[in-house]
Amino acid sequence: MDISKIRDLFPLVSFESVITLFKKQLEDKDKDPDLSLLSICLGFIENVLCKENTNRSNTFPILDYETVDTLYKKFKSIVAIAETSFQQSSEKKSKKKDDNKEPKVATREKIKKISDVIWNSLLRSSYKDRAHLQSVYSYLTGNKLDSFGVALVTVAACQILNYKDVHLALSEDHVWIVFGITGDETMEITWHGKGAEDKRGHSVIPGIEAQTWLYLAGHPIICTRYTELAAMVLSLNPQLNQTSVCAEIADLQQQLLWILYDAGHLSTYPMGIGTLGELEESHPTEDRPSCEQLYEEAIQSAITHYSNHHVYPYSYKGSYYYRRENFRDAFRCWADASDVIRLYNYSRDDEEIYKEFLDIANEQIPQIMKTESSGHSAKSILRDPYCFGNLLKFYDGICQWEEGSHTPILHIGWAKQLCYTISKFDYDIRSQVKIIIKSDYDDDNNNKKNEICSTNDEQKHEAKDENMKCEESMKSPKIEEKVFSPASRETLASPQSMASSQLASPSTASVDDNRSEVLKSEEDQSNDTNNNGKSEHYDDFEINTPKKPIIALKSRKMKGLKDLLLAEKLNTNAISLQITAQSHIGKKSRSSIGIEDNGADAARPKRSRRE
């Protein structure tokens, strides 16, 4: 690629000039965004402001064309080594030299050769958890890359060589490559955790690994060049140290994400929308969607495009409500997040999402209990059976996540906090929650995975009809909430429909006639639910929600706790023993999930948790 055509855009003397460069790249319909060029520019600005600028002056680091051109040519020369090496080892290429002008289709051997050149030039240390090492700039100037950076630089190198079929695949904590004429071939290109580098070059196997959250069970984000650019922007790290951030980098990231959002390039990127929501929560932009609307949009993106297999969109929104002290809605979002994680088998590679749930269960929920029990109020969530129901749903999902996994999840620390939390709900509140234990859930435990992936026309038609019914129920003074089949997780897009089912998953839309109602109001109530996330939500709670929720528990551990949970006097020792018991359960079959070789997941830099 020739970057001399954009020479008039340099030097970059302000953040506005960087934004202009990005806009020019996005507006050029004849060419894809140049990942190498933009990664060099962003990496330079981030490293200077966050690492080299020890005096923390607000002066923009001027970037001239000569610097960019020198680094760009250096990268091209490194990439050329890989291409030349492969051509020399190939008899077919020995007599004919590629001119890199016509689009080519990559092979596994070619991509492996490119990644080997990059991999072998890195310093022999693991920089996975180090900041500011995810760009082409950090590679060229320091021979250092984190796990996401290795994948990004490899794809950027393939773009230079005109392999237009090579793209990133992103999960919520990992990244790999898809390639080929149909884009259905997969390849591990970077590490995850410890000692996984030996997987480089291998296909993502649609087996046990693909059943874990790390690989999203065949529902990763398959990137275009524009989504890869969004992932690059998302990987910007404004952190200066453990207690402070670079406001200029955060603001640049926010503005670039809005540009991508306006162009429609975040519509299939739930984590991109969620990150933009967090940035808007800290520094709202005038005449833009609110952070709460963005969090909801991220959820709808995950439902629409990924069969509701992404956890973080719910985690984003739950954390938002927690920070706003809207604990009722926080409980609901956490329960919905748990409803997603139950779709997977736990593995040690799922460390990041495990820590997310552990933090909710052992830090945030106990803190809520401490806050709410400090004073007696009829409007406290401790007097709300729906919050108790969502608490059970939260733990039910985690217990089902553990079922069939090789590694146990729930140790004594989980059990201790569960007992503490349950004990805060009086018997008269706990007894209002009706727990359904139905054998059909045991028989259909595997079938639900198949239902989630089913997207035939008949289901879509039923989902639309049911969605209309849900909207009508919002207007009716009588609330009637039903359990929705998991197959409908793909089709629900109406926040109003979600609001009509307080404990049911917000991703449900069509009624499964073979199952009983799981949530049903026993009293006629108005359903004018306030969804603005503010504390005023509490004032109307008494008249806006049903009194006696019904919940169906699906995990074997929580089913066994039914009588103990509703007993007048809690037997915390028995509850603890049941929760921490070893799961002697056959592995959950996910052969019908529809996992294919292209379903590997893709990673991204770790999401920092906001306090």
Characterize 12-22 residue by residue with b for buried, 16 or more Cβ atoms within 10 angstroms of its Cβ, and e for exposed.
beebebbbebb
Give burial (CB, 10 Å; 0-12/13-18/19+) of 570: middle
Strand partners, 176: 169
Give burial (CB, 10 Å; 0-12/13-18/19+) of 292: buried
Higher pLDDT, 247 or 406: 247
Give the number of other CB atoms < 10 A from CB of residue 428: 10
Tell me if 169 sits within 8 A of 223, measured CB to CB: yes
Residue among 512, 506, 532 at smallest CA distance from 300: 506
**Cα four-point dihedral sign 3, 4, 9, 12:** positive
Domains of the chain, earliest start first: 1-89+104-242 (3.10.620), 341-439+547-583 (no CATH)
Question: Which DSSP state fits 50?
Answer: I
In 263-411, alpha helices (H) = 270-282, 291-306, 312-323, 327-341, 351-359, 365-372, 385-402
pLDDT band, very low/low/confident/very high, at 29 (cuts 50, 70, 90): confident
Model pLDDT for residues 211-262, shown as the tens digit of each residue: 889 999 889 999 999 999 999 999 999 988 888 889 999 999 999 999 999 9
Give the separation between CA 337 and CA 327, rounded to whole angstroms.
15
Element at 423 (helix H, strand E): helix 412-423
Residue among 511, 496, 498, 497 at smallest CA distance from 462: 511
Q: Is pLDDT above 90 for 295?
A: yes
Per the omega criterion (within 30 degrees of 0), is the bond before 11 cis?
yes
3-state secondary structure of 25: helix
DSSP character string of 277-310: HHHHHHSPPTTS--HHHHHHHHHHHHHHHHTT--
The model's pTM: 0.80
Residue among 174, 352, 194 at smallest CA distance from 186: 174
Give the number of other CB atoms < 10 A from CB of residue 137: 25
Looking up tokens 């040519």 gives 73
Model pLDDT for residues 450-502, shown as the tens digit of each residue: 333 333 333 334 434 444 443 333 333 333 333 333 333 343 333 333 333 33
Model pLDDT for residues 166-190, shown as the tens digit of each residue: 999 999 999 999 999 988 899 999 8
Q: Residue 328 is which amino acid?
A: R
Supply φ then ψ for residue 480, to 5 degrees.
-135, 105
Give the separation between CA 140 and CA 78, rounded to whole angstroms.
10
Give the separation between CA 316 and CA 271, rounded to whole angstroms.
9
Q: What is the pLDDT of residue 113?
A: 92
Give burial (CB, 10 Å; 0-12/13-18/19+) of 494: middle
Higher pLDDT, 186 or 606: 186
Residue among 389, 406, 387, 410 at smallest CA distance from 398: 410
Mean pLDDT of 62-69: 95
pLDDT band, very low/low/confident/very high, at 59 (cuts 50, 70, 90): confident
Give the separation between CA 61 and CA 57, rounded to whole angstroms.
10
Mean pLDDT of 305-321: 97
Length of the chain: 611
CA 385 to chain centre: 29
**Cα four-point dihedral sign 528, 293, 306, 553:** negative
Strand partners, 187: 177
Give the separation between CA 172 and CA 161, rounded to whole angstroms.
28
**Cα four-point dihedral sign 300, 301, 305, 307:** negative
